[in-house]
A = this chain, B = another copy of it.
Amino acid sequence: MFRTAELQHKLPKDEYHQQVSQLREDLQMMQMELRNADFPVIVVFAGVDGAGKGETVNKLHEWLDSRWLVTRAFGELSDEERDRPEYWRFWRDLPPRGRIGLFLSSWYSMPILDHVYGHIDLAEFDERLERIKTFEQTLADDGALILKFWMHLSKDAQKERLRKLEKNPLLHWRISKRDWQHWELYESFIAAAERTIMKTSTGLAQWKIIEGYDARYRSAAVATVMRDAIHFRLDEAKTSLASSNEDTDAHASKPASTAIDGLPIITVLSRLDMSKTLSKADYDVALKHYQGKLNQLQRIARERTISTILVFEGWDAAGKGGSIRRITAALDARDYQVIQIAAPTDEEAAHNYLWRFWRHLPRAGRVTIYDRSWYGRVLVERIEGFARTREWQRAYAEINDFEAQLVERGIVLLKFWLHITPDEQLRRFKEREQIAYKAWKLTDEDWRNRDRWADYELAVNDLVERTSTRQAPWTLVEANDKRHARIEILRALCERLGVALGQPEDKFTAAKSKK
């Protein structure tokens, strides 16, 4: 794989200077145009030590305008990073649309090192590469232009390079024992590199192997590839703009999979027993019990730095707010945060839609409650056509991957869909209209959403089908009776948290919901 990058590619000085002056101008003009583009550019540098990754990045900073360029190198984890899933640090440093981000020792670094050092076997290595693929796919699908450069040196060339650096009084500090240790492991590195490149060269995020032997050659090569790729994408955007009218599909709200033409539609929601109720007396007892239990469990969770994330989705007026309050009443205000998902801020809108959920992930030991969530992508955005068909269709997989990362980090994740019948909703809307301090909760949008009940019901069915995984199942809550719903939610939360903490099962049975 690397043979073509061991040919000692060089660029003579005069040729270099001739090329570079044009290249710089092109790059700067391109960067200006890019500033108004609706996609970010993500450039990943990986490769052999001493192959000039850092020098190349510095060169790019010289040639481009640093004000629109962000370079990130990831070293040891900070304790704030250690408290979150591995990819949090990468998500938070992604460039917004119109900018270029250069990434050194990025998401490829740890998997390769872990494998070469023997900390993880081939199967786990492959899994980590799979995660990378999904990450890049998510970004690329959303429009990000991803360029990946593998900077290569032959084993002899690397040795020569390390020696040279050691001898240079200005640069010898850059060579440590670790570099020579890595050199000893050269073959293992190359094997891991080959596997990495093979497995992660996708159509949307391809590797380009660059020989790092000659500084002039490698800088000019990288810059040229960047210029041409960004230009190509900018031109593409222009042409697609012309044909974009055809692109906005009229079928945005068509069901993904549920409906098979000609066959009757039965959704998971239609099978819920909506007659379940709970008496006031039973409710009071159960509420006290579960709130006490929850309080106790959360104190243990805080101590053990186990976080909980709760997602609340459901029909308008299904009682999300009231259910959330019954949970927070049992918690210490220092331990939780309720996040209301409304329209994104402009910083959020300049990133992938998942960015704003990543950015607010709590430190370890906290409870974060989302009042509406990332599922907006496959609910309101799908139904209203804010997301294109291919966008919301791929969102299921993106969401599953996001949630898998939360669960792998040890976060307890629960997702609730609060279901009410159309009649019950109407009753509550009318009630709200009557009560002054509740009237503000009712908007025209609520009435509009009501008209699209059937579309939403199919969307919910798809959502359950696609995202109720073993690790992160949906809890569908019959919420026509508020008391029943609240206790169901508290019970589910206590059960899951109890299991996660290895606490004895909840023996409480006093308040079984009745038909």
Q: Which residues of A contact B (CB under 8 A)?
A: 25, 28-29, 32, 54, 57-58, 60-62, 65-71, 73, 78-80, 102, 104, 170, 173, 292, 295-296, 299, 321, 324-325, 328-329, 331-334, 337-340, 345-347, 363, 371, 437, 440
How far is B299's CA from A338's CA once the two chains are assembled, in angstroms? Answer: 44
Contact indicator A70/B337 (Cβ below 8 Å): yes
Contact indicator B66/A338 (Cβ below 8 Å): yes
Q: Please name 14 further chain A to chain B contacts, defined as beta carbons within 8 Å, in addition to the given A62-B329, A79-B79, A345-B347, sorted by A numbering.
A: A25-B437, A54-B332, A54-B334, A57-B334, A58-B332, A61-B333, A66-B324, A66-B328, A67-B371, A71-B334, A73-B334, A78-B363, A104-B334, A345-B346
Instruction: Chain B residues near A73: list those with CB within 8 A.
Output: 334
How far is B334's CA from A61's CA once the two chains are assembled, in angstroms? Answer: 11
How far is B339's CA from A321's CA once the two chains are assembled, in angstroms? Answer: 41
Instruction: Chain B residues near A299: list those with CB within 8 A.
Output: 173
Closest residue of B by beta carbon distance from A331:
B58
Contact indicator A437/B78 (Cβ below 8 Å): no
Contact indicator A67/B437 (Cβ below 8 Å): no
Specify how many copies of this chain sit in the oligomer.
2
Instruction: Chain B residues near A70: list those with CB within 8 A.
Output: 337
How far is B97's CA from A345's CA once the two chains are assembled, in angstroms? Answer: 14
Task: Across the A-B interface, give the 6 residue pairs with the lowest CB-CB distance, nearest first.
Answer: A67-B340, A66-B338, A73-B334, A71-B333, A57-B333, A61-B333
CB contact under 8 A between A28 and B437, given known A54-B333, A67-B339: yes
How far is B61's CA from A99's CA once the two chains are assembled, in angstroms? Answer: 40
Which of the residues B62, B104, B295, B328 comes within 8 Å of A61, measured between beta carbons? B328
Instruction: Chain B residues near A332: list those with CB within 8 A.
Output: 54, 58
Instruction: Chain B residues near A440: list those with CB within 8 A.
Output: 32
Which of the residues B57, B325, B334, B347 comes within 8 Å of A62, measured between beta carbons? B325
Minimum C-beta distance from A351 to chain B (A): 12
Report whether over half of chain A's contact residues are helix, strand or loop; otherwise say mixed.
helix
Contact indicator B67/A29 (Cβ below 8 Å): no
Instruction: Chain B residues near A104: list those with CB within 8 A.
Output: 334
Instruction: Chain B residues near A29: list those with CB within 8 A.
Output: 437
Instruction: Chain B residues near A170: list those with CB within 8 A.
Output: 292, 295-296
How far is B332's CA from A57's CA once the two chains are assembled, in angstroms? Answer: 9
Instruction: Chain B residues near A62: list those with CB within 8 A.
Output: 325, 328-329
How far is B334's CA from A346's CA once the two chains are assembled, in angstroms? Answer: 27
Minimum C-beta distance from A247 to chain B (A): 28
How far is B339's CA from A333's CA once the two chains are assembled, in angstroms? Answer: 36
Closest residue of B by beta carbon distance from A73:
B334
Minimum C-beta distance from A431 to chain B (A): 16
Instruction: Chain B residues near A25: list those with CB within 8 A.
Output: 437
Contact indicator B334/A66 (Cβ below 8 Å): no
Minimum C-beta distance from A227 to chain B (A): 14
CB contact under 8 A between A325 and B54, given known A73-B334, A78-B78, A345-B346: no
A-B contact pairs, 5 of them (CB 8 A): A62-B328, A66-B338, A78-B80, A345-B346, A347-B347
Closest residue of B by beta carbon distance from A66:
B338
Closest residue of B by beta carbon distance from A299:
B173
Instruction: Chain B residues near A65: list those with CB within 8 A.
Output: 321
Candidate in A28, A292, A345, A363 with the most chain B CB atoms within 10 angstroms: A345
Minimum C-beta distance from A194 to chain B (A): 27
Minimum C-beta distance from A512 to chain B (A): 26
